[in-house]
Structure 1
């Protein structure tokens, strides 16, 4: 009996590995890589390091913002990526932009990925607004690149 218990204990790790799903493991790795791209983007954003941001941005990246005017009109605004990067690089010294990502929902299919990240934005530690980022990524010669970013912005209904 003792021999059987020892043999079972020794074989347990092998049995656990036999239960692994390589496709599931591969998807977890893909999602982790995609998430890292978004984290790198925001690391550069917070540091004011546009070079770091450009490393994960496709050269033809599209940026848009959706918001509601004071008059209640829904607006879709096309942003100029170069102006966005210039604003980050030209941010006054001492001014802190902190976009806190609250959740990651990630979907991956071959060479395309989608990341949904609700967020809260703070300017110099003061709450400014909240919303959702929607990233589309393309696997460009083995490296994930952000090709499209649209976000929403609102001040009401942010903090429950």
Structure 2
């Protein structure tokens, strides 16, 4: 996160072109909002149980089950953390979808790092859920 890599963050709403793309983007946005609010229940509601996150940091790759990732997110803290995705590419085929989106991660309003988030989602009982996430991280970012 990228997918917030054990830090709390929040995302701003991102426009999607169609109602179905908006429905696909909604749980990923809710996950980012939940991280920013340090709300573990909000995060879990957006995720398919048993899913995983893969984080690429420099030459190191780490993988965590969603529960372990959520446990690393502090429920308290004073830093304002936010992850903003933009220009999401969304692809949907029946009950599976992907989101590919560049992001900036901000700490107290300043860009700390950036990269790309990739999320894959599944539709379960008519509701989209994030089934897996991968992200990378760059130290050199526009606006930093």
Q: TM-score, normalised by structure 1?
A: 0.73
1:90 & 1:41 partners in 2: Cα distance? 14
8 A contact 1:50–1:89 mirrored in 2: no
1:39 & 1:85 partners in 2: Cα distance? 15
Match of 2:57 among 64, 67, 72: 67
1:87 & 1:62 partners in 2: Cα distance? 14
Structure 2 counterpart of 1:132 = 116
Deviation at 1:97, TM superposition (A): 1.2
Deviation at 1:91, TM superposition (A): 4.0
Unaligned runs of at least 5 residues, structure 1:
1-26, 69-73
Unaligned runs of at least 5 residues, structure 2:
1-16
- Cα offsets for 1:28-70 (capped at 9, x unmatched): 22111001111111111111111111111000111001132xx
Match of 1:52, SS state, is helix
1:38 & 1:80 partners in 2: Cα distance? 16
Structure 2 counterpart of 1:88 = 73
Residues 1-160 of structure 1: matches in 2 within 5 Å? 28-68=18-58, 74-92=59-77, 94-156=78-140, 158-159=141-142
Larger radius of gyration: 1
Structure 1 residues 29 and 37: CA distance shift in structure 2, 3 A = same
Equivalences, count: 127
- Cα offsets for 1:59-110 (capped at 9, x unmatched): 0111001132xxxxx3321124323212324342x22111111221100000
Q: TM-score, normalised by structure 2?
A: 0.80
2:64 & 2:113 partners in 1: Cα distance? 18
Say which structure, 1 or 2, has more relative contact order (CA 8 Å, 6+ apart): 2
- Cα offsets for 1:120-144 (capped at 9, x unmatched): 1011223211000000001111111
2:68 & 2:28 partners in 1: Cα distance? 20
1:83 & 1:125 partners in 2: Cα distance? 27
